Amino acid sequence: MALVAVFDLCGPIAHFRKYYTNSSSLTYGFPPRTALMGVVAAVAGLERDSYYEILAPGRASFAVVGLTPVRRLIQTVNYVRTKGEDLARLRGLGAARGTQVPLELLLPAGEHLTLRFRVFFSCADGALVQEVAARLADRRPYFPLYLGLTEFIAEAEPVALAGPGDYEVVPPGGAVVLDSVLQAGLLAGVVLGRNGGSGPRFVRERAPFAFGPGRTLAPPADVIFEAGARPLPVRLRCPAYRFRLPDRTCTVAFLEGELCATSPTRTSGGATC
C-alpha cells in the first residue's frame, strides 16, 4: 500500500540554481528532487539537515509535473559580501563591495500569471505523508515555502491524498503519454508521432538528487522534461502511475523508478521501493 500526497506548488517567479554554474546563476526548468525534499520538510516542520535520510531515495518517492509553460529571463543582480571585514563595515552602516552576477529566472509564459508545478510525494513513513497532506489541506505549512530563493515566495495548494484505489500502475515497456519529469536512465524509447506539426521538445539536464551526511551532495542524475510543459510519448523501463485526480488525470514516473510502500506508523529505516 502506498499513500501519495499530491499538491501544486505555485508562485510568480522561480530560480532553481544549477549546482555546476559559477559566474552566472542558471536555473533548472523545474524544481529538482533536492528542492522537493526541502518543500516537504518545510511543510512538515523538519529542521535543516534532519531530513536527508528520511527523504532519501529508497525511502521516499517524488514526481513533478510542470503544469504551465515557462520562459526565461536573465537579470543582473548585485550581491554584497558578508564575510570578514565586509561584515564589520556593513554593521557600521558603511559601504561594502558588491559583485554583479547574472541571474536566470523562470517566469510563466503565454497568458499564465503563475508558475504551477504538481508534486507527488510518498514516503515509507505513512504518518509523514498524512501530516503533509493535512497541513496542506489546512493551508498551514510549518515553515514558509519558496521557489528556489527565499525572495520567491510560493504557495502550496492541496490536490489529493491518493490511496491505491486512486491510481493504476502501468507496467514497464508499454507506450505511455508521460506528464512528469523523467530520470533519463528510466527511458526505454520515444514513441514517434505520425501526424505533422511540431512534436515534443526533449530537454536533458543534470540535476541534484539527494544529500548525504553533512549536506554533502549525492551523485546527481540526468533528467528529461518537455520544454513547453507538454506530455512525453515514451516507453519506460519502470512502472508509470496514472492518477485520477479531481481536476485531471496525470500519468507520472517517480524519479526513483518506483513508488515506495507506505507504513502507517513512523519508521526508522529498512524500507524499500
pLDDT digits (tens, 9 = 90+) for 134-144: 999 999 999 99
pLDDT, residue 271, reads: 39
CA distance 2 to 168: 12
Residue 44: inside a domain: yes
CA distance 145 to 155: 6
Say if residue 261's pLDDT is above 90. Answer: no
Calculate the dihedral angle through the C-alpha atoms of 80, 86, 88, 91, rounding to the nearest 10 degrees: -20
Q: Enter the C-alpha cell of residue 199.
A: 512534436
pLDDT, residue 114, reads: 96
Residue 124: inside a domain: yes
Residue 265: inside a domain: no
What pLDDT, in 10s, does the model give residues 25-74?
999 999 999 999 999 999 999 998 899 999 999 999 999 999 999 999 99
Residue 260: inside a domain: no
- Domain of 117? 4-252
Residue 118: inside a domain: yes
Say if residue 221's pLDDT is above 90. Answer: yes
Residue 243: inside a domain: yes
Say if residue 183's pLDDT is above 70. Answer: yes
Q: What is the CA radius of gyration of the chain?
A: 20
Say if residue 109's pLDDT is above 60. Answer: yes
Residue 45: inside a domain: yes
CATH of residue 199: 3.30.70.2660
Q: Are 205 and 28 in contact (CB under 8 A)?
A: yes
Residue 259: inside a domain: no
Q: In Å, how far from its chain's centre is CA 67? A: 12
Q: In Å, how far from its chain's centre is CA 182? A: 11
Say if residue 270's pLDDT is above 70. Answer: no
Lowest-confidence segment of 65-69, 213-217, 218-222, 247-251 by average pLDDT: 213-217
Number of domains in the chain: 1
pLDDT, residue 260, reads: 84
Q: What is the mean pLDDT of residues 230-259?
A: 95
pLDDT, residue 142, reads: 96
Lowest-confidence segment of 99-113, 158-172, 192-206 by average pLDDT: 192-206
CA distance 253 to 95: 51
DSSP per position, 170-218: EPTTSEEEE-B-EEGGGEEEE---SSSS----EEEEEE---B-GGGPBP
Please report which helix (H) or strand (E) contains residue 37, including its range: helix 33-44
Say if residue 241's pLDDT is above 90. Answer: yes
Mean predicted lDDT score pLDDT of the chain = 89
Amino acid letter, 30: F
Q: What is the mean pLDDT of residues 209-214?
A: 87
Say if residue 147's pLDDT is above 50. Answer: yes
